[in-house]
Amino acid sequence: MVTGMTLSYADEVADLVLLHARAQGMTPARAGAIIAAGGRLGDDGPGSWSVAWTSAGDAALAEGDPLGACRRYNLARFPYPDTEGQRAAAAKCVAAFDQWRAGQPGIERRNLRVLGETVPVWASGLDTTARKPLLLIMGGIVSVKEQWAQFLVAARRLGMAVVVAEMPGVGENPLRYQPDSHLMLADLADAVAELTPYEGVHTVAFSFGGTMALHWAARDPRVRSVLTVGAPVREFFTDSDWWETVPETTKRTLAHVTGLPRAALPDALAGFALTDEELARVDIPVGYVVSGRDEIVPAADSALLAAALPRFSRVEFDDVHGSPAHLTDTKLWIIRSLLSRRPGKGVPTAVLGAALRLRAARRALSPARKAR
């Protein structure tokens, strides 16, 4: 990993992919070898990013590991499809996931009509008779829906219907990310209601997806809780000095999902910020994972939520944006938080809480061990 200097765009992407690969269970050595074989972005020739990662996905698929193939195809199109090869990899990512989920009971693909467009989602636990809570999962501007397989598998244990969607402009979502993109979530919830009865919506939304969820929660009483990891709130969108420090990967990807020219982004971003009036209307539990070394979202954003929201809680990890090195801790925190919203889940919630405390204690001890 390149540190301590201003990174080129290619180095930024490589650093991010090393972290994302680790979060998906790939060893740094394996991910590093693939990056070394194809560190060039912007084309699909020999030695290019798309070719190296797509070849790795093809190999995993040939070995009978469609989910592993899906993860490698996802990294081939990362952070967004910019070449024909990356677009082909994105399609292979969806197809490999579809092959994997065929062996998983109850996981289905649904094409929902949302704001006049067809928006594909993955779903599980849909029931035409029982009225269960709806869990809506959504990643950020670089995260496709195929990354969240574990939530689909966990639907039965959580006692929820689960729908996994993508932000506008990400993956198969044809919409554009706009200041009023929260309307997509409201319309999506309407579309799901036509498939299955549910009682309230709990959202787990990452990064800019969390921004959308908070905007939606300020307007829709169906939203019962929001859990987010590194959601921009206001300062990210309005602080021009902070914008200058934001990684190039984020700037390019925002231009892609909004459809705006790079030069137009600084002036347009203010419209995405949450206002005091909106925050005053969010009177539901909101949980937030803070990354202590977040290079994208300023600390002022989580501090604003802490000051403005009456039912706000947070957990902080010494990590970069999204806390990819603390994925297990984040998953435990999310599941514990979701179970705490469900009646009769006291024992599992207590066990998960104990596991989180144990992992925190181990992290606190590890610097002392290294110093010996």
Contacts of 261 (CB under 8 A, 6+ apart): 255
- The Cα–Cα gap between 303 and 251 comes to 23
Give the DSSP H or E segment for 250: helix 248-258
Segment 108-150, tens digit of pLDDT:
999 999 999 999 999 999 987 888 999 999 999 999 999 999 8
Residue 102 scores a pLDDT above 50: yes
Instruction: Give the global pTM.
Output: 0.90
Q: How many CA atoms lie within 13 A of 243 on its CB side?
A: 18
Segment 240-260, tens digit of pLDDT:
999 999 999 999 999 999 999
Contacts of 3 (CB under 8 A, 6+ apart): none
Q: What is the DSSP string of 149-164?
A: HHHHHTHHHHTSEEEE
Residue ranges per structural domain of the chain: 9-87, 104-364
Segment 282-310, tens digit of pLDDT:
999 999 999 999 999 999 999 999 999 99
Residues 165, 119 contacting (CB under 8 angstroms): yes
Give the DSSP H or E segment for 120: strand 117-124
The correct answer on CATH 3.40.50.1820 for the domain covering 104-364 is yes
Q: Phi-psi category of 32—alpha, beta or left, where left has phi over 0 and alpha has psi -120 to 50?
A: alpha
